[in-house]
Amino acid sequence: MIREARKEDVNSILQIINESNRKSFSQVIPKEYFRQPILTLEDLLQDFEKMKFLVYEENGLPIGVAGFYVKPEEGVCRIRWFSVHPEYQGRGIGSKMMEFLQNEAKKLGLRKMRVVTLREAYWAVNFYSKCGYREVERIPRPWGTDVVLEKEL
C-alpha cells in the first residue's frame, strides 16, 4: 500500500534512506566525501515542512519512501528522496512507487518529473531510464558527476 507519510513515520523513513544510501552509494562515492548518515532526524523534520512524502507499506511496515517537491509554478515534481529498504529491493516496489508518484503529479497538473542522481550510481540511472527519464544535464562534483534526469508527463 502506498500512502502519504505521517510524522510517526520519520524513524522508518530515516532508516530506509540511510540504509539504502549506506548499502549503495558507499560503493561509488569516495570515502572522504561519503556521509553516513546521509540524512539526520533534524534535516528530515525540516524536509517534512517543505516537501511531501509517500511511503510504501507492507504488513504495516514502511519499506519504501519518496520525498518530493511540488513546484506548480514550474509545472515540475522534483524528487529529492527515493529509496527502498535494501532487504526489499528488486521486487518492483520502486517501480510501483514511481508509477504512483507520477500519477499524483499528473493529478496536480504538473507536466514534468525531475530527479538528480549520481552518474556513477548506474543502478539508479538505469532505474530512472527504465521509467522513461532522460538525461538533460551533467553537473561535475568533487565526489562524482550528478546527472539531472527528466520525464514529461
Question: Which of the two residues, 32 and 55, has the higher pLDDT score?
Answer: 55
Written as one letter, the residue type at 18 is N
Quick one: pLDDT at residue 62?
A: 97
Q: Residue 21: how many CB atoms within 10 A of its CB? A: 20
Q: Model confidence over 57-113: pLDDT tens digits? A: 999 999 999 999 999 889 999 999 999 999 999 999 999 999 999 999 999 999 999
37: cis peptide before it, omega within 30°?
Answer: yes
Grid coordinates of 68 = 518530493
Sheet strands (E) in the chain? 2-4, 52-58, 61-71, 76-84, 112-118, 134-141, 144-152
DSSP string, 88-102: GTTSSHHHHHHHHHH
Quick one: pLDDT at residue 26?
A: 86
Quick one: pLDDT at residue 102?
A: 97
Region 11-35 average pLDDT? 91
The answer to whether the CB of 41 falls within 8 A of the CB of 10 is yes
Region 29-36 average pLDDT? 87
State the distance between the two ends of the chain, measured CA to CA, in whole angstroms: 23
Grid coordinates of 63 = 519499506
* Confidence band, pLDDT 50/70/90 cuts, at residue 35: confident
Region 38-47 average pLDDT? 93
Q: Reply yes or no on whether the pLDDT at 36 is more than 90.
A: no
Q: What superfamily in CATH does domain 2-115 come from?
A: Gcn5-related N-acetyltransferase (GNAT) (3.40.630.30)
Domain layout of the chain by residue ranges = 2-115
Written as one letter, the residue type at 1 is M
Q: In the predicted model, what is the mean pLDDT of the chain? A: 95
Radius of gyration (C-alpha) of the chain in whole angstroms: 15
**Model-level pTM?**
0.92
